[in-house]
Amino acid sequence: MKYKSTRGGCSDQSFEQVLLTGLAPDGGLYVPAELPQLSEQEIASWKDLNYSDLALKIIAPFIGDEIPEDALREIIESSYAEFDHPEVAPLSILAEGEYMLELYHGPTLAFKDFALQVLGRLLDYVLVKNDQRVVILGATSGDTGSAALEGCRHSERVDIFILHPHQRVSEVQRRQMTTVSGDNVFNLAVEGNFDDCQRIVKAAFADQSFLPEQSQLVAVNSINWARIMMQIVYYFSAALKLGAPQQAVSFSVPTGNFGDIYAGYLAKRMGLPIKQLVVATNSNDILYRFISGNEYSVTELNHTYSPSMDILVSSNFERYLFDLFDGDAEALTSFMEKLGSESLSVSEQKWQQLKTCFVSARVDDETTCETIAQVYADTGKLVDPHTAVGIRAARDCNADKATPMITLSTAHPAKFSEAIKAAGLAAPDLPPHLQDLFEKEEHYTVVPNRLDAVTAFVKSHSHN
């Protein structure tokens, strides 16, 4: 499989090249040059596969012959063996026609484990084969950091540096990162906010001359194609359980960087019968305003009870816009360059096209807490604030009660006890494997909010 950039300014790349990088050199994101198309019969024949076997079927075409099937199978099976539920992504029922896909059974309790467990092993495989080392550099507002550390720490050929905003992540989230030990694992607490961390990471990727020769930076956030690819699988898994391909289903997805829901959009384009995709946002609502009113403009950042969705501009939305613009990289580039300085819109025809696929609802903090309390009262299930945003948005958007609606439950409630308490409920216990989280020793370094401070640290601590 070949990959191309949404900005059209570089040659096609292999899966391996795309895996070992971040943004494309022209500033775009990589997308597959063509999407596998699946027939109804083929999808139907996957009904009885376990999660790992299904994952292998779905991702193999995206990798082609670059990794032999046996090696890929081993990578997938060992990744999902780390999950604490035999179904890996179990589906639970909230009410008639209303379901929740539990994506929090991985080692760090958020859906990011689905991709990052595999990403770490894919990197290891490719780096051993090439006798190469790389430096992973990422910024996190909480969940990506721990999932990346957990997924990549075993690799002897990576040094991993994760930046988080000092004193601005929850204690559980911080400890999940800082208690991971290993001499290739580094947590940097930047004296700034998440945007500062992200800016530093972006600048470091743009100029990698501080690294030793032969080394390069690899991204672990969802600009990395491998993350999107692994997330396509659970859309198929959930839909098959509810009778697809004969039965159509809809999904509601708590959305931040648009990675998770973009994977659902790809599943639909590959042939899975998905009726609606609900883009569920918190009060950081740029996508809600665009989908419901054709207005794409940046506002101020709000800090909410669902911090993993506190994002101003969703980076993966560019991948969808590339399709909406019929692959016209030039039109997309000029659209993206204007963002930030003006309020943008698309033609009426394109906007209608977008609305045949996506609907959106915005859920504020108060309604999030109300939903947590209501779901608990009705079902006895405790849901995390991101999931609550998804459930509420599904209820607000779903006029069509005949199609099952599946909300992606993106994190375990124990990760976000502040919102649970604000909903008037008792904070849940951490699962058994994290019960000693508060006793373990933490390792992190506080660094000033400056690019040169970070690059100097990376340079002096990487094992090249």
Ligand X SMILES: *Cc1c(COP(=O)(O)O)cnc(C)c1O
Question: Measured from the CB atom, is 110 or 405 closer to ligand X?
Answer: 110
Q: What H or E segment, with its residue span, contains residue 275?
A: strand 274-281
CB closer to ligand X out of 112 and 133: 112
Phi, psi of 212 (to 5 degrees): -60, 155
Contact of 29 with 6, CB cutoff 8 Å: yes
Q: Is 275 known to be catalytic?
A: no
Rule CB under 6 A: which residues touch ligand X?
Answer: 110, 112, 143, 222, 254-260, 308-309, 386, 410-411
Structure-block tokens of residue 197: 């961390």
Give one DSSP letter per residue of 388-408, joined into a string.
HHHHHHHHHH---TTS-EEEE
- State the minimum distance, in angstroms, from the CB of residue 171 to ligand X: 16
Rounded to the nearest whole angstrom, what is the least distance from the CB of residue 112 to ligand X in the complex?
6
* 395: number of Cβ within 10 Å: 19
* Choice between 72 and 408, CB closer to ligand X: 408
Instruction: Please count the CA atoms within 13 angstroms of the CA of 10 that sit on its side-chain side.
Output: 19
Considering the complex, state which of residue 176 and residue 178 has its C-beta at the smaller distance from ligand X: 176
Task: Report the nearest approach of ligand X to the CB of residue 265 (Å).
Answer: 12
* Helix, strand or coil, per DSSP, at residue 132: coil
The DSSP letter of residue 415 is: G
Residue whose C-alpha is closest to residue 265's, from 321, 315, 305, 217: 321
Q: Which residue of the set 4, 57, 112, 421 is catalytic?
A: 112
Dist CA 307 CA 426 (whole Å)? 20
- Nearest approach in angstroms of CB 439 to ligand X is 25
CA distance to 18, 115, 222, 396, 448, per residue, from 119 (Å):
12, 6, 11, 35, 30
Name which of 170 and 297 has its Cβ closer to ligand X. 170
Q: Please state, in angstroms and as integers, the Cα–Cα distance from residue 342 to each residue in 295, 317, 321, following that order.
A: 10, 17, 17
CA 443 to chain CA centroid, Å, is: 25
Query: Both tokens of residue 217?
Result: 């930076």
Smallest distance from ligand X to CB 269, Å: 17
With respect to ligand X, which residue has the nearer C-beta, 90 or 259?
259
Please identify, using beta-carbon distances, which residue of 49 and 339 lies nearer to ligand X. 339
User: What span, in angstroms and rounded, lies between the C-alpha atoms of 364 and 383?
Assistant: 16
Min separation Cβ 386 and ligand X, Å: 4
Report the C-alpha gap between 204 and 202 in whole angstroms.
5
Query: Considering the complex, what minimum distance in angstroms separates the CB of residue 310 from ligand X?
Result: 10
- State the minimum distance, in angstroms, from the CB of residue 389 to ligand X: 8
SS3 250: strand
How many angstroms separate the CA atoms of 72 and 229, rounded?
Answer: 14
Of the chain, the end-to-end C-alpha distance in Å amounts to 31
Helix ranges, 242-381 (H):
259-270, 286-293, 317-324, 329-338, 348-357, 365-379
Which lies closer to ligand X via its Cβ, residue 99 or residue 114? 114
Known catalytic residues are: 112
